[in-house]
Protein backbone atom coordinates (compact mmCIF):
# COMPACT_ATOMS: atom_id res chain seq x y z
CA UNK A 1 0.00 0.00 0.00
CA UNK A 2 1.45 3.34 -1.09
CA UNK A 3 0.28 6.57 0.51
CA UNK A 4 -0.31 9.32 -2.04
CA UNK A 5 -1.53 11.92 0.46
CA UNK A 6 -1.19 11.77 4.23
CA UNK A 7 -3.39 13.86 6.52
CA UNK A 8 -1.36 17.04 5.98
CA UNK A 9 -1.32 16.54 2.21
CA UNK A 10 -5.04 15.82 2.23
CA UNK A 11 -5.72 19.12 4.02
CA UNK A 12 -3.36 21.00 1.67
CA UNK A 13 -5.27 19.59 -1.31
CA UNK A 14 -8.58 20.85 0.14
CA UNK A 15 -7.01 24.27 0.76
CA UNK A 16 -5.66 24.33 -2.81
CA UNK A 17 -9.18 23.72 -4.14
CA UNK A 18 -10.51 26.57 -2.00
CA UNK A 19 -7.78 28.94 -3.22
CA UNK A 20 -8.63 28.15 -6.83
CA UNK A 21 -12.36 28.62 -6.22
CA UNK A 22 -11.79 32.03 -4.62
CA UNK A 23 -9.34 33.04 -7.37
CA UNK A 24 -11.95 32.31 -10.06
CA UNK A 25 -15.03 33.49 -8.15
CA UNK A 26 -14.54 36.76 -6.29
CA UNK A 27 -18.21 36.75 -5.32
CA UNK A 28 -19.67 33.53 -3.99
CA UNK A 29 -23.14 34.99 -3.44
CA UNK A 30 -24.77 32.75 -6.05
CA UNK A 31 -22.80 29.59 -5.19
CA UNK A 32 -24.48 26.32 -4.26
CA UNK A 33 -22.49 23.20 -3.37
CA UNK A 34 -23.45 19.63 -4.25
CA UNK A 35 -21.47 16.66 -2.94
CA UNK A 36 -21.51 13.27 -4.64
CA UNK A 37 -22.03 10.32 -2.30
CA UNK A 38 -20.15 9.24 -0.38
CA UNK A 39 -16.75 10.90 0.00
CA UNK A 40 -17.70 13.89 -2.16
CA UNK A 41 -20.28 14.84 0.47
CA UNK A 42 -17.64 14.97 3.21
CA UNK A 43 -15.24 16.89 0.97
CA UNK A 44 -17.91 19.39 -0.06
CA UNK A 45 -18.67 20.13 3.59
CA UNK A 46 -14.99 20.72 4.28
CA UNK A 47 -14.72 23.01 1.26
CA UNK A 48 -17.71 25.09 2.36
CA UNK A 49 -16.27 25.37 5.88
CA UNK A 50 -12.87 26.41 4.53
CA UNK A 51 -14.43 28.97 2.18
CA UNK A 52 -16.47 30.43 5.03
CA UNK A 53 -13.36 30.70 7.20
CA UNK A 54 -11.34 32.37 4.45
CA UNK A 55 -14.11 34.85 3.77
CA UNK A 56 -14.23 35.55 7.52
CA UNK A 57 -17.93 34.82 7.49
CA UNK A 58 -18.43 31.81 9.74
CA UNK A 59 -22.18 32.13 9.40
CA UNK A 60 -21.95 32.03 5.62
CA UNK A 61 -24.30 29.32 4.44
CA UNK A 62 -24.14 28.03 0.90
CA UNK A 63 -27.15 26.14 -0.38
CA UNK A 64 -26.03 22.53 -0.02
CA UNK A 65 -27.17 19.29 -1.61
CA UNK A 66 -26.14 15.70 -2.15
CA UNK A 67 -26.55 13.34 -5.06
CA UNK A 68 -26.26 9.60 -5.54
CA UNK A 69 -25.48 8.57 -9.09
CA UNK A 70 -26.02 4.82 -8.61
CA UNK A 71 -29.18 4.56 -10.71
CA UNK A 72 -27.71 6.81 -13.42
CA UNK A 73 -24.57 4.75 -13.98
CA UNK A 74 -24.05 3.30 -17.43
CA UNK A 75 -21.81 0.59 -16.00
CA UNK A 76 -23.93 -0.68 -13.11
CA UNK A 77 -23.96 -4.21 -14.55
CA UNK A 78 -20.16 -4.20 -14.61
CA UNK A 79 -19.90 -3.44 -10.89
CA UNK A 80 -20.95 -6.93 -9.83
CA UNK A 81 -23.51 -5.67 -7.35
CA UNK A 82 -26.74 -7.62 -7.03
CA UNK A 83 -28.59 -4.87 -5.21
CA UNK A 84 -26.76 -1.54 -5.21
CA UNK A 85 -26.89 0.54 -2.03
CA UNK A 86 -28.74 3.72 -2.92
CA UNK A 87 -28.25 6.87 -0.87
CA UNK A 88 -30.35 10.01 -0.77
CA UNK A 89 -30.28 12.64 -3.44
CA UNK A 90 -31.25 15.89 -1.79
CA UNK A 91 -31.32 19.21 -3.60
CA UNK A 92 -33.29 21.34 -1.09
CA UNK A 93 -32.89 24.58 -3.05
CA UNK A 94 -33.80 25.97 -6.44
CA UNK A 95 -30.71 25.41 -8.55
CA UNK A 96 -31.98 27.46 -11.47
CA UNK A 97 -29.52 30.26 -12.28
CA UNK A 98 -27.17 29.13 -9.49
CA UNK A 99 -23.45 28.53 -9.87
CA UNK A 100 -23.13 24.90 -8.81
CA UNK A 101 -19.93 23.51 -7.36
CA UNK A 102 -20.07 19.74 -7.85
CA UNK A 103 -17.64 17.89 -5.57
CA UNK A 104 -16.29 14.33 -5.76
CA UNK A 105 -13.29 12.55 -4.31
CA UNK A 106 -11.71 11.00 -7.42
CA UNK A 107 -12.02 11.77 -11.13
CA UNK A 108 -11.00 8.92 -13.42
CA UNK A 109 -13.01 7.96 -16.52
CA UNK A 110 -15.57 10.77 -16.26
CA UNK A 111 -18.54 8.41 -16.18
CA UNK A 112 -19.54 9.27 -12.61
CA UNK A 113 -19.47 12.99 -13.36
CA UNK A 114 -21.52 12.45 -16.53
CA UNK A 115 -24.16 10.71 -14.43
CA UNK A 116 -24.08 13.53 -11.87
CA UNK A 117 -24.64 16.10 -14.60
CA UNK A 118 -27.72 14.18 -15.77
CA UNK A 119 -29.12 14.31 -12.23
CA UNK A 120 -28.40 18.01 -11.76
CA UNK A 121 -30.02 18.93 -15.05
CA UNK A 122 -33.12 16.94 -14.07
CA UNK A 123 -33.55 19.37 -11.15
CA UNK A 124 -33.36 22.53 -13.27
CA UNK A 125 -31.06 24.77 -15.24
CA UNK A 126 -28.07 26.05 -13.28
CA UNK A 127 -26.16 29.07 -14.55
CA UNK A 128 -22.87 27.12 -14.34
CA UNK A 129 -21.62 23.79 -13.05
CA UNK A 130 -17.98 23.57 -11.98
CA UNK A 131 -16.29 20.39 -10.81
CA UNK A 132 -13.94 20.08 -7.82
CA UNK A 133 -12.13 16.82 -7.09
CA UNK A 134 -9.57 15.84 -4.50
CA UNK A 135 -7.68 13.48 -6.86
CA UNK A 136 -7.51 13.52 -10.66
CA UNK A 137 -6.32 10.13 -11.95
CA UNK A 138 -6.42 11.01 -15.65
CA UNK A 139 -7.36 8.25 -18.14
CA UNK A 140 -10.68 9.78 -19.27
CA UNK A 141 -13.21 7.91 -21.33
CA UNK A 142 -15.47 10.98 -21.54
CA UNK A 143 -14.46 14.58 -22.36
CA UNK A 144 -14.82 15.79 -18.76
CA UNK A 145 -12.24 17.78 -16.80
CA UNK A 146 -12.25 19.17 -13.28
CA UNK A 147 -12.12 22.93 -12.78
CA UNK A 148 -10.51 22.55 -9.35
CA UNK A 149 -8.10 19.73 -8.49
CA UNK A 150 -6.45 19.10 -5.14
CA UNK A 151 -3.82 16.66 -6.45
CA UNK A 152 -3.08 15.06 -9.83
CA UNK A 153 -2.00 11.43 -9.75
CA UNK A 154 -2.17 9.87 -13.23
CA UNK A 155 -2.64 6.16 -12.66
CA UNK A 156 -4.66 3.21 -13.85
CA UNK A 157 -4.24 1.64 -10.40
CA UNK A 158 -7.14 1.69 -7.95
CA UNK A 159 -7.00 4.63 -5.54
CA UNK A 160 -8.86 4.87 -2.25
CA UNK A 161 -9.70 8.10 -0.47
CA UNK A 162 -10.08 7.65 3.27
CA UNK A 163 -11.85 10.36 5.27
CA UNK A 164 -11.80 10.81 9.01
CA UNK A 165 -15.60 10.81 8.99
CA UNK A 166 -15.61 7.12 8.01
CA UNK A 167 -12.13 5.61 8.32
CA UNK A 168 -10.96 7.89 11.18
CA UNK A 169 -8.01 9.11 9.09
CA UNK A 170 -7.53 11.47 6.15
CA UNK A 171 -5.34 9.98 3.45
CA UNK A 172 -5.25 8.74 -0.12
CA UNK A 173 -3.71 5.36 -0.89
CA UNK A 174 -2.96 3.20 -3.90
CA UNK A 175 -4.39 -0.30 -3.56
- Model pLDDT for residues 104-116, shown as the tens digit of each residue: 999 999 999 999 9
Q: How far is CA 16 from the centre of its chain?
A: 14
In a domain, 26, yes or no: yes
pLDDT at 105: 97
pLDDT at 67: 96
pLDDT winner (highest mean) among 43-57, 79-93, 114-128:
114-128
Strand partners, 133: 104, 149
- Provide DSSP, 33-88: EEEETTHHHHHHHHHHHHHHHHTT-TT----EEEE--GGG-S-GGGGT-SS-----
Range of the domain at 126: 2-71+86-174
Residue 174: pLDDT band with limits 50, 70, 90: very high
95 contacts: CB under 8 Å, gap ≥ 6: 32, 63, 65, 120, 123, 124, 125, 126
In a domain, 142, yes or no: yes
pLDDT at 61: 77
In a domain, 76, yes or no: no
In a domain, 77, yes or no: no
β-strand 128-136 against 171-174: which pairing, if any?
Answer: unpaired
pLDDT at 83: 52
Number of domains in the chain: 1
Q: In this prediction, what percent of the chain has a pLDDT beyond 70?
A: 89
Please measure the distance between the N-terminal and C-terminal CA atoms of the chain and give it in whole angstroms.
6
The H or E element spanning position 19 is helix 7-24
In a domain, 80, yes or no: no
In a domain, 168, yes or no: yes
pLDDT tens by residue, 147-169? 999 999 999 999 999 999 999 99
In a domain, 79, yes or no: no
Q: In what order do the strands lie in the sheet with 171-174?
A: 2-5, 171-174, 159-162
Residue 55: pLDDT band with limits 50, 70, 90: confident
pLDDT at 86: 67
CATH number at residue 29: 3.40.50.2020
Amino acid sequence: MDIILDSAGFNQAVEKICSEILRDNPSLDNLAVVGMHTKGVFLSKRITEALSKRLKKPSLQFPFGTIDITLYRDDIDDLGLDIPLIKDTEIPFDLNKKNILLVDDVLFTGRTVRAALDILISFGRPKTIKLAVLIDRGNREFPIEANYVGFKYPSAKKIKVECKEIEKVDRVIVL
